[in-house]
Chain A
Amino acid sequence: EAGVVQSPRYKIIEKKQPVAFWCNPISGHNTLYWYLQNLGQGPELLIRYENEEAVDDSQLPKDRFSAERLKGVDSTLKIQPAELGDSAVYLCASSPDSTYEQYFGPGTRLTVT
């Protein structure tokens, strides 16, 4: 069974530029999560989707961050415009539903210069 797929794996951009990350969850997993992981810390939840609905986006900085999961399968997380402090690893995770444990993708490492 294929795991959670994320792309790109690495991204370097200049501040004020837009950037987008893509995630394809494990087949059949209805719940999808985006996490932010700063250096030396554990992941922190940004947003949770149940199918195509964002059911918890309370930790998503909505002034510059947006996410979508239009068909309830793959998802895109966007930052516009990026700031220096956005440099981090962005992790996607999925689970069959929210009562099951989560499986993480390899992450996208973003560097904003």
Chain B
Amino acid sequence: GQQLNQSPQSMFIQEGEDVSMNCTSSSIFNTWLWYKQDPGEGPVLLIALYKAGELTSNGRLTAQFGITRKDSFLNISASIPSDVGIYFCAVRNDYKLSFGAGTTVTVRA
């Protein structure tokens, strides 16, 4: 399948911090998606991006669709403990989703 490079692989957050993660591809895609997966649950769609350059927010989450259509980033502002989990970027080509390997977010002790 399509390889998406997602970074960082993992990160530690402290409550109140802003955090950022990104995803790149060697190919152009017209739909970029961000999902969150909690332990023992399926991925939940957070934000969908359909237009190059588009900046979309969902509460404290903001995601941008790169102008080259080969990348996207996700920002979480003022992080809270329930933000922990695995964040996946994905691209959709027709009906097919291809996922990155995920960014694991945990709370810094």
Contacts and interface: CB of A to CB of B under 8 A. Distances in A.
Contacts of B101: 40-42
A21 interface: no
B41 A106 contact: yes
Contact of A104 (B44, B94, B96): B44
Contact of B45 (A40, A45, A91, A103): A103
Contacts, number: 50
Nearest to B35: A104
Which residue among B45, B95, B100 has the maximum number of chain A CB atoms within 10 Å of its CB?
A: B95
Contacts of A107: 40-42
Contacts of B102: 40-42
B97 interface: yes
Contacts of B59: none
A45 B100 CA distance: 13
B76 interface: no
Interface residues on B, range: 20 to 34
Contact of B99 (A9, A43, A103): A43
Nearest to A107: B42
Interface string A71-113: 0000000000000000000010101001101111111010000
Nearest to B99: A42
A41 to B, nearest CB: 6
Interface of B: 1, 33, 35, 40-45, 48, 88, 90, 92, 94-102
Given A31-B95, A106-B40, 5 more contacts: A40-B102, A99-B95, A101-B33, A104-B44, A107-B40
Interface of A: 4, 9, 31, 40-45, 48, 56, 91, 93, 95, 98-99, 101-107, 109
